[in-house]
Amino acid sequence: MFTVVIEHLEPCVNRWILKEYEYAMKIYRSRLLLTNVKDPRHAQVLSKYIPNISRESAVDILANVDNIIVLDPKAPIPLDASELKSAKYVVIGGIMGSHPPRGRTWIYITSKLRHAKARNIGPYQYTIAGVIYVLRKIEEGNSLSEIKFVYGLRYRKVFGDVELEIFLPYAFPVNDEGHIVLPEDYLDVVAEYVPIYEQRILRSRDDSICYNG
């Protein structure tokens, strides 16, 4: 069985990305490795959710390892279930997606692991949790064409007298029961985080840890 590697690439740890990582841990458990956790403050928080954490980058750890797959939206070839049977590692970028995508998985991982197979899971950008769900379904033998998804998710939440509307421009998997696959309380966490994120941008602050809870 392959190990799932998430390369931690966000400068700030927050409840949103913790929800993504928490879901990945729920699915892959001891087969999950979080790499590139260089900030001790990040490690302190993330170790509460994921026991297998490395300060080293996946690029360094896997430099001389064969049978690696990098899931990269820019990759020209879709992932096939048969490829996972011989894979030792599947690498995912631990990135909060931007819109439009900036190709950061290619910049920070794929371009530096030239011996790895770069594969996509469709034409749209997924969240980390979405990638994990799709990967698991493919590991179980499903083809990409069999995995349903919706593109774009709109969510409204009321804070006192203020109504906040959020649009998430990502692909979200849909399970066999027709429900969108999301980590628990995901949308509420996103709704609470967005105003905080926007305030930080306005203040031009460079906070490397913004975990609260």
What is this structure's pTM? 0.90
Please, which pLDDT band fits residue 209 given cuts at 50, 70 and 90?
Answer: low
The gap between the terminal CA atoms of the chain, to the nearest Å, is: 34
Of 140, 100, 90, whose CA–CA distance to 124 is shortest?
100
| Token pair recorded at residue 188 | 């509420």
Please, which pLDDT band fits residue 198 given cuts at 50, 70 and 90?
Answer: very low
Looking at residue 205, what is its pLDDT? Answer: 47
More confident residue, 56 or 200: 56
Task: Assess contact for 209 and 41: CB atoms under 8 A.
Answer: yes
Of 54, 67, 170, whose CA–CA distance to 122 is shortest?
170
Looking at residue 165, what is its pLDDT? Answer: 87
In the block, which residue shows the tokens 């609260």?
A: 212
Please, which pLDDT band fits residue 199 given cuts at 50, 70 and 90?
Answer: very low
Average pLDDT of the segment spanning 173-182: 97
User: Domains plus CATH for the chain?
Assistant: 3-203 (3.40.1280.30)
Looking at residue 135, what is its pLDDT? Answer: 98
Average pLDDT of the segment spanning 109-127: 96
Please, which pLDDT band fits residue 191 given cuts at 50, 70 and 90?
Answer: confident
Average pLDDT of the segment spanning 90-98: 87
Looking at residue 136, what is its pLDDT? Answer: 98
Share the mean pLDDT of the chain. Answer: 90
Looking at residue 194, what is its pLDDT? Answer: 65
Looking at residue 200, what is its pLDDT? Answer: 44
Rounded Cα distance between 177 and 108, Å, is 36
Phi-psi region of 122 (alpha: psi -120 to 50; beta: other; left: phi over 0): left
Residues forming beta bridges with residue 174, ordered by sequence position: 148, 180
Looking at residue 207, what is its pLDDT? Answer: 52
Of 58, 53, 183, whose CA–CA distance to 113 is shortest?
58
SS3 185: coil
Looking at residue 213, what is its pLDDT? Answer: 43
Looking at residue 181, what is its pLDDT? Answer: 98
Please compute, for residue 154, the number of CA atoms within 13 A of its CA located in the half-sphere on the CB side.
2
Task: Assess contact for 180 and 150: CB atoms under 8 A.
Answer: yes
